[in-house]
């Protein structure tokens, strides 16, 4: 627990204090966020707000992970099993940084062109697919000394579903789909001040709890496994908890400057990175299908966006006034702050339901 707390505290402090530096740097570089003219008229006042702020919480999370490992040195023998950097950290932080890099390129093109056209949709998807494939292969083909891999060949809900074996190739494809879908889901959600940041804090908090619970009931802990039939077959759960806690705390530090009126936007560098990390956490904790519930807000916004696109292309009619969904409510007269807080509530309820299902499965198995 000490390592998780240290990582979270360090991430929060670094993010809180380097985000203002990012504001000054990106303002000086004239890296202002281009605002789409077809969006809600109220957003035009945000023109020029510096973007690419996601760089701040990415840096904070990576540095906090290092600090968390320093804290591990003095822990008891049972906890030093994960003292060194692991493949789990390589995959999760790699997804975080590399998908952030794809988003950074998208933001950079927008800033240079002074419009909202960055990478093409195909270009962005290609970048996400390349990153997902590379780390998916690492997650499936690089095993620890006990044969455990970061990802599984099975589709999972609260743990692997034994009869849903898709093989290594199928699992890599599923990995890419999860990373791409969640990454784009957070990207679509990032449209109002603090919305995606606050929702991500809740989801990362949930995965930190899941990771730590799995660590306390870990099959690799031979002392626990001998005394209990029920344990979790995951790789490096303490790493998972530490990284998720660091990301959550880094987002809280960023949120201080990102709430309405935002002094800086996370940009695609932030939203693509956050979504990729959430997807990676879902795969690593063997909760792929459960992530649909835990990340319910991101799923809701993605599904309504798909409904709108399909409806308009097939019938010429729009189901919503505008997508993503938060813009629909803006045009309906809701204030930005009301939408953000109410969507945070939806995110919180989704997280609570997801955690409830996760814990109830443990209670049922031990009942």
- When pLDDT is cut at 50, 70 and 90, the band that residue 188 belongs to is very high
Both tokens of 81, joined, read: 């099993």
Cβ density class 229-241: b for 16+ within 10 Å, e for less = eebbebbbbbbbb
Question: What's residue 22's pLDDT?
Answer: 95
Question: What's residue 220's pLDDT?
Answer: 80
Both tokens of 198, joined, read: 């606050």
SS3 160: strand
Cβ density class 15-35: b for 16+ within 10 Å, e for less = bbebbeebbeebeeeebbbbb
Question: What's residue 243's pLDDT?
Answer: 97
Question: What's residue 77's pLDDT?
Answer: 42
d(CA 147, CA 219): 13
Greater confidence (123 vs 78) lies with: 123
Chain segment 343-352, per-residue pLDDT in tens:
999 999 999 9
| Lowest pLDDT segment from 118-122, 305-309, 310-314 | 118-122
Question: What's residue 221's pLDDT?
Answer: 74
d(CA 24, CA 228): 54
- When pLDDT is cut at 50, 70 and 90, the band that residue 225 belongs to is low
Find out whether 127 and 119 touch, Cβ atoms under 8 Å: yes
d(CA 319, CA 317): 7
Q: What share of the chain is helix, strand, coil (3-state, %, to 5)?
A: 70, 5, 25
For residue 131, pLDDT beyond 90: yes
Distant-in-sequence, close-in-space partners of 178: CB < 8 Å, separation ≥ 6:
279, 282, 283, 288, 291
- When pLDDT is cut at 50, 70 and 90, the band that residue 120 belongs to is confident
Chain segment 33-84, per-residue pLDDT in tens:
776 656 666 666 677 789 999 999 999 999 999 998 877 766 554 454 455 6
Q: For a pLDDT cut of 70, what percent of the chain falls above it?
A: 90
Mean pLDDT score across all residues of the chain: 90
d(CA 320, CA 83): 50
Mean pLDDT of 242-255: 97
Question: What's residue 44's pLDDT?
Answer: 63
pTM beyond 0.85: the answer is: yes
Question: What's residue 43's pLDDT?
Answer: 66
Greater confidence (362 vs 289) lies with: 289
């Amino acid at each position: 627990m000490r390592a998780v707390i240290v990582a979270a505290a360090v991430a929060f402090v670094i993010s809180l204090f380097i985000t203002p530096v990012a504001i000054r740097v990106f303002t000086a570089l004239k890296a202002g966020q281009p605002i789409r003219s077809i969006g809600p008229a109220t957003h035009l006042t945000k023109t020029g707000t510096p973007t690419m702020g996601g760089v701040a919480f990415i840096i904070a999370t990576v540095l906090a992970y290092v600090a968390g490992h320093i804290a591990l040195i003095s822990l008891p023998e049972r906890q030093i099993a994960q003292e060194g950097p692991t493949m789990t950290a390589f995959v999760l932080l790699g997804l975080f940084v590399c998908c952030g890099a794809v988003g950074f390129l998208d933001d950079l093109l927008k800033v240079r062109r002074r419009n909202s056209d960055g990478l093409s949709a195909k270009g962005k998807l290609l970048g996400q697919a390349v990153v997902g494939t590379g780390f998916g292969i690492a997650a499936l083909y690089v095993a620890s000394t006990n044969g455990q891999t970061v990802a599984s060949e099975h589709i999972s809900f609260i743990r692997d579903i034994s009869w849903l074996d898709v093989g290594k190739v199928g699992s890599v494809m599923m990995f890419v789909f999860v990373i791409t879908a969640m990454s784009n889901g957070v990207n679509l959600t990032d449209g109002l001040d603090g919305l995606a940041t606050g929702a991500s804090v809740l989801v990362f908090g949930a995965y930190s709890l899941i990771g730590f619970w799995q660590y306390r009931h870990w099959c690799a802990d031979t002392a626990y496994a001998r005394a209990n039939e029920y344990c979790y077959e995951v790789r490096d759960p303490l790493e998972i908890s530490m990284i998720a806690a660091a990301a959550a705390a880094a987002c809280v530090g960023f949120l201080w400057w990102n709430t309405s009126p935002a002094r800086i936007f996370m940009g695609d560098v932030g939203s693509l990175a956050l979504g990729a990390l959430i997807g990676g956490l879902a795969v690593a904790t063997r909760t792929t299908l459960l992530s649909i519930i835990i990340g319910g807000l991101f799923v809701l916004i993605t599904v309504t966006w798909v409904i709108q696109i399909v409806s308009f292309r097939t019938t010429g009619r729009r189901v919503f006034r505008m997508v993503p969904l938060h813009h629909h409510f803006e045009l309906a007269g809701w204030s930005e702050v009301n939408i953000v807080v109410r969507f945070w509530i939806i995110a919180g309820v989704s997280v609570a339901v997801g955690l409830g299902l996760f814990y109830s499965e443990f209670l049922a198995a031990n009942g």
